[in-house]
Amino acid sequence: MINKAQSSQYNEKFAAALQWMWGDGYLAPGGPAEVAELLGSVDIRDKRVLDIGCGLGAIAVLLVDQYGAGSVHGIDVETHLIEHCRRRAKKAARGDRISFELVKPGPLKFEDESFDVVFTKDVIVHVPDKPTFYQDIFRLLKPGGIFVGSDWLRGGKGACSTLAAKWLEYVHLDFQMKNLEQTRSAIEAVGFDHVRMNDRNRWYCEEVKKEIAALEGDKFGELARMIGRDEADYRLESSLLKQQVINEGFLRPTHFVGYKPSQ
């Protein structure tokens, strides 16, 4: 299930700004290095992979070229993102192993046990009904299949901190955030075992410094020319607020891996 609220949040200017910060084809921090950290020892060679929230398609190409995936099928709810993905796959000459599909929000329309691996990076935060989403993933994985991804989690269980509420209101993103233990429990509850979680808050405390340094540095003018001065100023203010939320421990980007039992 992909949330309708995710739709239209990643417009062309927003996508351009994110790539300016994080690299061509990437809408989330870390680029290829963070994909490597996320996969760790997970072997996807010759596997059929579903990439949920495929963004601009760079990760799908990376999963085939660098990690040897047999095939990658990327899905997203944004028409313009799927168009970007298809152009990228065509340029990479990987049309025989990479495909992309525009999907409607809601349950995933794939047959049971269709994939060996489900990969998703920084998308689940938009999904309000996470248990149903995890159940859907479990359903479409083959026995022994792997669910691997990352999500924007939160610290604490109660109301957002004052800083967090201010940042969430400022960025106008529909973030449906759970903490690490809530997420682990929900993934395990649908049947996944050997679930591993990797809290990346400390890493992102350092990463956000790089974002701000770029936004406050000589290259700021380049971003302003790309997306307009008002939009560039907005990106800087957003990152400054986000840094406070990360440093106080509320915002906790987290990697996870879970396995569907073989029997």
Domain chopping of the chain, boundaries: 4-155+177-201+252-259
In this prediction, residues 18-42 reach a mean pLDDT of 90
pLDDT of residue 126: 87
Per-residue pLDDT tens for 179-199?
Answer: 999 999 999 999 999 999 999
pLDDT at residue 110 above 80?
yes
In this prediction, residues 211-225 reach a mean pLDDT of 91
In this prediction, residues 202-228 reach a mean pLDDT of 91
Q: Print burial letters for 30-42: b (CB count within 10 Å at least 16), e (below 16).
A: bbeebbeebbeee
What are 124's two structure tokens? 């689940």
In this prediction, residues 50-54 reach a mean pLDDT of 96
- Give the percent of the chain with pLDDT over 90: 69
pLDDT of residue 5: 38
What are 156's two structure tokens? 């604490």
pLDDT at residue 253 above 70?
yes
pLDDT range class, residue 157, cuts 50, 70, 90: confident
pLDDT of residue 16: 86
pLDDT of residue 92: 87
pLDDT range class, residue 246, cuts 50, 70, 90: very high
pLDDT of residue 2: 44
Q: Which CATH superfamily is domain 4-155+177-201+252-259 in?
A: Vaccinia Virus protein VP39 (3.40.50.150)
